[in-house]
Each structure stands twice: as C-alpha cells, then as structure tokens.
Amino acid sequence: MSQDSPLFAPTQLGSITLANRVVMAPMTRNRSPGLTPNALNAAYYTQRASAGLIITEGTAPERMGHGYIDIPGLYNAAQIEGWRAVAAAVHAKDGKIAAQLMHVGRISHPDLLDGETPIGPSAIAAKGDMYTHTGMKPLPVPRAMTEAEIARAIASYGSAAKNAVAAGLDGIEIHAANGYLPSQFLATNANQRTDEWGGSIPNRARFALAAVDAAVAAIGAGRVGIRVSPGGTFNDIQDDDVEGTYTHLFKALAPKGLAWLHIMGTPKDLDIAALAKKHYGGKVILAAGYDRAKAEADIGAGRAEAIAFGVPFLANPDLPARLRANAPLNAPDIGKFYGGGAAGYTDYPTLAA
C-alpha cells in the first residue's frame, strides 16, 4: 500500500520539514535572462511544489561563478527579489525550496564573463566545448586562482546563502559535484597546486569544506546541504583515489551537523552510500536512475532518508502523485531541456489535467 511506503512519509532534514521523501534534483534549464529569476521560473517551481524538497537549478554565488547562458545568480538585489517571488509562490503551495549554489570555476568562457578569463584551482583547461551566445567554443585555459580569489569565492558561498534566506528560501545546497569549482579542487587532474589548496587529500578537500563553513556561519548548519559525485567524470574530472578522498570528506563533514549530504551516482566496486553512512552519519539524499521501487528499497534499507529525481520531475510536475499511484510518466522533450520559454518547461500535463 502506498500509504505504508517510506517514500511518502515525512522526514526532517536539518531545520527543514519535508512532507515526503521525493526530492526534486537540481537541473539547469537556462531560462533566466539577465541572470535573474522571473515569473516563468516561479511558475515552473510552483508546479513542482508537491516535492518534499525542491533543490533549484545551479545558481551562481558570485559573478565569476557563471558558466552557462541565462542561469540565475544570488549575489545582487534584483536576483534576491526574483528568488523572493519564487519562494513565496512555492510556499503558497506548502512546498519547500533550497537554492543550489553552483560556482562553475573553469567550466566557463570569457564570452559569459564580460571578457574575464575563468578561474580554477590550476591553469588546466577542461576538455570540451562551451555554448556561448555566438555558438560552441572550446573551454579556455583558466587562470589559477590567487589566495585572494580563493578567499573571495569561499566568502561568496556565505553571502549567497545569506541572500537565499533573505529571499525566503528554506536553505542552500553547495554544488561540490560534476566538475564545478569545489569538485575541481578535489580532483587530481584539475588541481595540481603545490600550496595548502593542493596535493594531499586534506589539502584538495580544503576548499569544499571552507565553502561549507562559510555557508554554515551565514545561515546555520540546519539550512545547509552539500552535493557530491564520487568517481564522476563529468566536465573532465578525475580522482585517483575516490575512496580515500570521500572517506576524508565524509569524516570532515560529520561534525558540522549539515541538513543533508546529497550523493549523485556511485563508482563501480565502491558502495558510496555505505561509506557515507559509516563516516558521515547524517541525513543522506541519493540520486541518479531511481524509480519508485529502487527508492523505497534504499530508504527502507536505511541507505538514504530521501531520494532525488531529476528528469522525471522535469517532465512530471506532479511526480509524487504519479509515483504514489503507480501512474504512467510523461516522456521528457529532450530538445527543450535548455533555453526557450514555456514549451517543454511549464506545459507538461498533470494527472488531474
């Protein structure tokens, strides 16, 4: 019976009470012209307010954190007001919403940064191309961050977290996955520094932990989560010792009292969820490739407190109701994932439609 399913039971993630364990995963949609949330974005998130928790698309904590066209930020007054409207609309539907803070580091281009060279741990370009306003261009060699730039980037997580709460959002998630800036510091191929920010695992983990500390100092641990992708290679990331890196990171995060640890995917031959439960011990969200049966199994086995769904939520605004009823899911319109308007964004039908 669905009413007995752990997937639809309430839970607590830090200071945030979730009505169910179905989390909307962060997904970039490139529909915030001017780098500012708008009414269409508010409609999109409000349609999905039945999630236990919405984690927003990646949102830049500072201007140098932008790496994609028309993604929002959380560092100026207009952006705060835009997010205020989103939060109010979601809360009016009894939803909960947290902003994912995404500093892309080297995964950017001068065309997207007013001519500035992107920054990263080391002057090592990621393999691949970046979509700009004038088409696809190779990812450039970033500028190796100075101590002052590292300090500024870390501080931006705290200021953006404060802005998120000022806008009425329920919390934030630090994006330390998928080859973005904290992930770049963790990665042995992207971080070849010889100072305190590179080399050993503790040094490479220092940036991610400092970003967490900045956010916690700004808004309290009960409103802060972090997302990681152990063993992931997206955006040309490589880690020569995944188990060692994440054993250290999980142990270092354990005493901080965060609201959640969000784990995307898992490498072969390593049970990351078990590693997290052993060394982190707090609330865990698991993501990637879940359906109802797999979600219920992992929650029931104590491997996670909640499960994040990505593309299924994109195409099914009422995903919790569909999962509960074992109803068919809408097929996503892949050609409209990124950019555009309401089509493929706010026009997917609900069960009640």
Query: What's the burial of 235, exposed, middle or buried (CB within 10 Å: 0-12/13-18/19+)?
Result: buried
Question: Distance between CA atoms of 316 and 56, rounded to whole angstroms?
Answer: 16
Judge contact between 54 and 94, C-beta under 8 A.
Answer: no
Question: Distance between CA atoms of 180 and 272, rounded to whole angstroms?
Answer: 20
Question: Distance between CA atoms of 107 and 99, rounded to whole angstroms?
Answer: 20
- Tell me if residue 345 is catalytic: no
Question: Distance between CA atoms of 105 and 7, rounded to whole angstroms?
Answer: 35
Q: Mind giving me the DSSP string for 214-280?
A: HHHHHH-GGGEEEEE-TT--TTT---S-HHHHHHHHHHHHGGG--SEEEEE---TT--HHHHHHHHT
What torsion, rounded to 10 degrees, do the Cα atoms 41, 47, 50, 51 define?
A: -40
Q: What residues contact residue 125 under an 8 Å CB cut-off, 6+ apart? A: 106, 138, 139, 140, 141, 142
Query: What's the burial of 55, exposed, middle or buried (CB within 10 Å: 0-12/13-18/19+)?
Result: buried
Active-site position among 157, 180, 246, 290: 180
- How many CB atoms within 10 Å of residue 303? 18
Which amino acids are annotated catalytic?
180
